[in-house]
């Protein structure tokens, strides 16, 4: 293979004009891409990794964005100087892109066939019939079974992984030379992620594609890329072959990123009290979603099982991991424990009382003892309430504070979660994702609950922030003697944090065991699949 | 447990502790918004003291003069009966502003509460509450008004009630729709799991987050209510000649606009300026109440 430079980017600088002045999104970035190679661009959110690639495709909204300097030579032509018409021809035809969220990147009102054929008709002189044939072949190539039939279906009839396959087929239809993949597997389950990564790798070899693979996940980068480029705050930190970057990083930031990857296991927990009665016992729990049909007066309820006959024991002082892929019912189970969703049958024995039998008044009292930390720190805080109001509200409502003491108590909570006390008059949007999650954690522990249900609390966060938040959770559970149900799809996080693990699949409990035992000797096939799908360095 | 937390000196807190205080501070920085606010305040003040400062009385006729263009005696001219137009606009503003603000306030209160409660509680409560809204929507407005007049006779109070009864329906639907999307967000679920009462969740967590569309719709409602009043007065509900309102002045002015254009231009101008101010103030309020809008 020749090491011909297909694309070379020099001194790229991208600005955004905001109300508060200019923000430099990409500063003086240079890199090159060789034909048939995979270049991984790694960085945390805000590092400019996506902006850089969007700039190459002419997809930066301008204004407010502005490409100030730089060249991007592709076949001797500068992409940044091209006219809109030339660019349109290059986009899709020569350089194709796949996006992060397969749920929103397909038009829900168009059949798959029409969306694929549209691409072909745009870029090739081809009849409709031939375009359809070609589209079916492309779908078969990305592993969609029964492609000739499924091509006439709508996007909602495909699962997330399948949609991403369709997106890849669409990207490859016009036979591009470069494929830009922007976090293509971030929104997918681990086992699906493993399949999609293998698919991209295979296609890249077969078509001799050059791929720019943007990701925040070092494990994925290590698995996919030949060369890696590490970015931080718009600047290039380090670049080199994948092996050198991961084995001998020279820059501090790269080392920090690598250290944030959780490889260690949790030290044995001495707080868990297994010999006592469990704090929470879930017995034969059935949770379903009711969907209504029929008229106002004769409603027909249809149930879809979300959680099917699940039994779990949670002992005081332990952190129980609940893992599974999306649709496994793990979140439904978590939400039914804090009574956000009603269970159909079964028992939830908490501290000796069945939560499902409580009267509304008793339930309000019980809510103090069970709190939840949500996945999305951007959605879980009321945007119109200051941090002080958010944290003071539960304290005042439950009578744990008076107007005189509430400020001190809120300040203590801020100390607990490692936030500066001066921030309490600020609104949520003034904080970063990690800081917001700290506020959400402070709110959850404000009522001094006995049990915390944490639903994917770190999956929306960057790797280095993730490590900090996990350390905080660990510290707080020990300090306040908390019991936690930790829901996650990320096996490495679970291994770092949890004492025991429960694996769920399609609403049922598949396997249960001590963390280390389960990781080293999984008994069930599904658990083995989950573990095998973790990308490792 | 509190003992091992190191005592840190309380830092000076930034001023402004609640959303409303922050909002006022932000609104003050919005020049157009504040100018509109002062203009509206001036209008209300003039309306309040009109009986004492008006140059004439609203029904003083000067048949000899007839319809005259603006002059030193009559700054905005006179109508066909020789009544001073400035006086009539000033008296008219008393009716129009009162109808505009009070009827809208009635619609706002009922509509926001109704929509928020229906949206938050959901299920059967929602279905029943929204069917009531649908039923009222289906009622032909004109017939409804005529019925009211027949039963209760004509009065200002009835005017407010009639307009409020119609305008809150749309507000309730808008708010319900917004609440339905917001209540799925995690901060509302967090509030539920915190054990907060439904009323507190509605008033503290839901309503502040639907204010944006509510304010926009309110600023659109006030002018439409002011015009609606002239229609109702025409039907015999509300004010009767020789009393005046902006709506009745404008509809009167339309009839004679070819011969005496000033009878349309001046009341129209006042109404337009009021509407502009309302819109600017509404925009300012919407931004001020959203902490995400730029802080400085």
ipTM of the shown complex: 0.75
For position B216, what pLDDT does the model report?
85
Chosen for mutation from A359, A384, A405, A441 (greatest number of chain B CBs closer than 10 Å) is A384
Residue B253 pLDDT level (bands cut at 50, 70, 90): confident
| Structural domains present in chain B | 74-288 (1.10.3720.10)
CB atoms B193 and A340 under 8 Å? yes
Answer for the pair A449, A370: CB distance below 8 angstroms, yes or no: yes
Out of B19, B190, B289, the one facing A374 most closely (by C-beta) is B190
Residue A423 contacts B where some CB pair is shorter than 8 Å: no
Residue B3 contacts A where some CB pair is shorter than 8 Å: no
Chain A residues within an 8 Å CB radius of B204: 382, 385, 393
Chosen for mutation from B189, B202, B288 (greatest number of chain A CBs closer than 10 Å) is B189
CB atoms B291 and A371 under 8 Å? no
Distance from CA of A368 to the nearest CA of B (A): 6
pLDDT average, residue stretch B233-250: 78
A69 bridge partner residues: A13
CB atoms B127 and A415 under 8 Å? no
* B8 has pLDDT over 50: no
For position B128, what pLDDT does the model report?
94
Out of A421, A425, A430, the one facing B8 most closely (by C-beta) is A421
Q: Which helix (H) or strand (E) holds A319?
A: strand A319-323
Chosen for mutation from B190, B199, B214, B215 (greatest number of chain A CBs closer than 10 Å) is B190
* B209 has pLDDT over 60: yes
Answer for the pair A515, A321: CB distance below 8 angstroms, yes or no: yes
Which of 290-349 (A) contact B at CB < 8 A?
296, 335, 338-340
CB atoms B189 and A440 under 8 Å? no
CA atoms of B100 and B96, how far apart (whole Å): 6
CA atoms of A282 and A334, how far apart (whole Å): 11
Out of A380, A385, A430, the one facing B186 most closely (by C-beta) is A380
For position A484, what pLDDT does the model report?
93
Which of 372-411 (A) contact B at CB < 8 A?
372, 374-376, 379-386, 388-389, 393-394, 397-398, 407, 411
Distance from CA of A329 to the nearest CA of B (A): 18
Averaging pLDDT over each range in A520-534, B6-20, B137-151, B220-234, which range is the top one? A520-534
Chain B residues within an 8 Å CB radius of A371: 193-194
pLDDT along chain A (537 residues), means of 10: 72 80 83 89 84 83 78 84 83 83 80 87 84 90 86 85 88 87 83 87 89 88 90 88 87 85 63 78 84 58 77 91 86 89 88 86 86 88 91 91 90 90 86 90 92 90 86 88 90 88 90 88 89 77
Q: How far is CA A179 from CA A116, A201, A212, B235, in A?
A: 17, 12, 6, 70
CA atoms of B153 and B171, how far apart (whole Å): 28
Token pair in block for residue A274? 């297994």
CB atoms B13 and A385 under 8 Å? no
Residues 6+ apart with CB under 8 A from A453: A334, A337, A338, A370, A371, A372, A373, A484, A485, A487
CA atoms of A408 and B117, how far apart (whole Å): 35
Sign of CA dihedral B2, A474, A407, A420: positive
For position B12, what pLDDT does the model report?
39
Helix, strand counts (H, E) of chain A: 19, 20
Determine what percent of chain B is predicted with pLDDT higher than 70: 91
Residue B205 contacts A where some CB pair is shorter than 8 Å: yes
Chain A residues within an 8 Å CB radius of B294: 19-20
CB atoms B2 and A385 under 8 Å? no
Residues 6+ apart with CB under 8 A from B59: B83, B242
CA atoms of B223 and A505, how far apart (whole Å): 58
For position A55, what pLDDT does the model report?
85
CA atoms of B169 and B132, how far apart (whole Å): 9
- Furthest-apart CA atoms within chain A: distance in Å: 77
Distance from CA of B130 to the nearest CA of A (A): 12
CB atoms A368 and B10 under 8 Å? no
Chain B residues within an 8 Å CB radius of A339: 193
Token pair in block for residue B226? 């002011």
Chain A residues within an 8 Å CB radius of B291: 383-384, 427, 429
State the CB neighbour count (10 A cutoff) for residue B138: 7
Q: At residue B294, what are phi and psi to the nearest 5 degrees? A: -50, 140
CA atoms of B180 and B116, how far apart (whole Å): 9
What HEC string does A150-175 produce?
A: HCCCCHHHCCHHHHHHHHHHHHHHCC
Answer for the pair A38, A211: CB distance below 8 angstroms, yes or no: yes
B63-100: pLDDT as tens digits: 777 777 888 787 888 888 888 888 899 998 988 888 88
Among chain A residues, the shortest Cα distance to B9 is held by A421
Distance from CA of A220 to the nearest CA of B (A): 30
Out of B189, B194, B197, the one facing A394 most closely (by C-beta) is B194
Residue B112 pLDDT level (bands cut at 50, 70, 90): very high
CB atoms A393 and B196 under 8 Å? yes
Q: Hey, is A521 helix, strand or coil?
A: coil
């Amino acid at each position: 293979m020749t090491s011909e430079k297909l694309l070379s980017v020099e001194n790229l600088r991208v600005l955004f004009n905001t109300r508060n002045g200019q923000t430099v999104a990409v500063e003086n970035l240079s890199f090159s891409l060789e034909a048939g190679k995979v270049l991984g661009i790694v960085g945390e959110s805000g590092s400019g990794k996506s902006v850089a690639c969007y700039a190459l495709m002419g997809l930066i909204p301008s204004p407010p964005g502005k490409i100030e300097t730089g060249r991007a030579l592709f076949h001797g032509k500068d992409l940044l100087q091209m006219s809109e018409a030339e660019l349109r021809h290059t986009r899709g035809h020569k350089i194709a892109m796949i996006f992060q969220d397969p749920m929103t990147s397909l038009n829900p009102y168009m059949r798959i066939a029409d969306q694929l054929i549209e691409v072909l008709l745009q870029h090739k002189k081809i009849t409709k019939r031939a375009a359809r044939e070609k589209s079916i072949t492309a779908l078969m190539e990305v592993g969609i079974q029964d492609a000739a039939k499924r091509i006439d279906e709508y996007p909602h009839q495909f699962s997330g992984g399948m949609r991403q396959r369709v997106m890849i087929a669409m990207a490859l239809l016009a036979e591009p030379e470069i494929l830009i993949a922007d976090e293509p597997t971030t929104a997918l389950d681990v086992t699906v992620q493993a399949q999609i990564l293998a698919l991209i790798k295979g296609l890249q070899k077969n078509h001799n594609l050059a791929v720019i693979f943007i990701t925040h996940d070092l494990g994925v980068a290590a698995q996919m890329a030949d060369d890696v480029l590490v970015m931080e705050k718009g600047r290039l930190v380090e670049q080199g072959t994948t092996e050198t970057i991961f084995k001998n990083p020279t820059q501090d930031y790269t080392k920090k990123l690598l250290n944030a990857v959780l490889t260690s296991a949790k030290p044995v927990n001495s707080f868990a009290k297994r010999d006592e009665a469990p704090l929470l016992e879930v017995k034969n729990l059935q949770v379903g979603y009711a969907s209504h049909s029929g008229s106002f007066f004769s409603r027909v309820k249809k149930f879809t099982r979300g959680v099917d006959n699940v039994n779990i024991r949670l002992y005081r002082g332990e952190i129980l991991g609940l893992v599974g892929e999306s649709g496994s019912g793990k979140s439904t189970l978590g939400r039914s424990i804090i009574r956000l969703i009603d269970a159909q049958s079964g028992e939830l024995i908490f501290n000796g009382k069945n939560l499902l039998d409580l009267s509304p008044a008793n339930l309000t009292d019980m809510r103090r003892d069970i709190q939840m930390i949500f996945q999305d720190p951007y959605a879980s805080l009321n945007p119109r309430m200051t941090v002080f109001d958010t944290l003071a509200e539960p304290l005042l409502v439950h009578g744990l504070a008076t107007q005189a003491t509430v400020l001190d108590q809120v300040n203590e909570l801020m100390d607990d979660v490692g936030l500066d006390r001066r921030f309490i008059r600020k609104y949520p949007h003034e904080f970063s994702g990690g800081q917001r999650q700290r506020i959400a954690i402070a709110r959850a522990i404000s009522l001094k609950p006995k049990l915390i249900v944490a639903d994917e609390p770190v999956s929306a966060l960057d790797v280095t922030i993730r490590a900090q938040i996990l350390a905080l959770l660990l510290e707080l559970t020990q300090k306040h003697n908390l019991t936690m149900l930790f829901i996650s799809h990320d096996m490495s996080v679970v291994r770092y944090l949890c004492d025991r693990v429960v694996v769920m699949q399609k609403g049922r409990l598949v396997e249960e065991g001590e963390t280390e035992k389960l990781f080293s000797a999984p008994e069930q096939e599904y658990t083995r699949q989950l573990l095998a799908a973790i990308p490792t360095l | 447990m509190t003992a091992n937390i190191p005592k840190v000196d309380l830092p000076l807190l930034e001023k402004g502790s609640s959303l409303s205080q922050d909002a006022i501070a932000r609104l003050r920085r919005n020049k157009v918004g504040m100018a509109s606010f002062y203009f509206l305040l001036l209008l209300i003040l003039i309306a309040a003291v009109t009986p004492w400062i008006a140059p004439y009385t609203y029904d003083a006729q000067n048949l000899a003069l007839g319809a005259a263009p603006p002059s030193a005696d009559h700054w905005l001219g006179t109508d066909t009966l020789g009544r001073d137009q400035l006086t009539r606009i000033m008296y008219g503003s008393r009716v129009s502003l009162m109808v505009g603000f009070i009827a809208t306030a009635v619609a706002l209160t009922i509509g926001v509460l109704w929509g928020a409660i229906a949206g938050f509680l959901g299920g059967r409560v929602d279905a029943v509450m929204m069917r009531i809204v649908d039923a009222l929507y289906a009622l032909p407005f004109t017939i409804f008004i005529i019925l009211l007049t027949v039963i209760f006779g004509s009065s200002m109070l009835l005017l407010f009630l009639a307009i409020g009864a119609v305008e809150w329906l749309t507000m309730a639907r808008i708010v319900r729709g917004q609440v339905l999307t917001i209540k799925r967000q995690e901060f509302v679920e967090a509030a539920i799991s915190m054990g907060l009462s439904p009323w507190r969740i509605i008033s503290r967590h839901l309503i502040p987050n639907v204010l944006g569309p509510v304010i926009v719709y309110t600023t659109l409602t006030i002018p439409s209510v002011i015009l609606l009043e002239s229609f109702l007065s025409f039907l015999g509900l509300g004010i009767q000649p020789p009393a005046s309102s902006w709506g009745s002045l404008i509809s009167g002015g339309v009839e004679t606009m070819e011969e005496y254009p000033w009878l349309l231009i001046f009341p129209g101008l006042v109404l337009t300026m009021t509407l502009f101010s309302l819109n600017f103030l509404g925009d300012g309020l919407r931004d001020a109440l959203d902490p995400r809008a730029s802080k400085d």
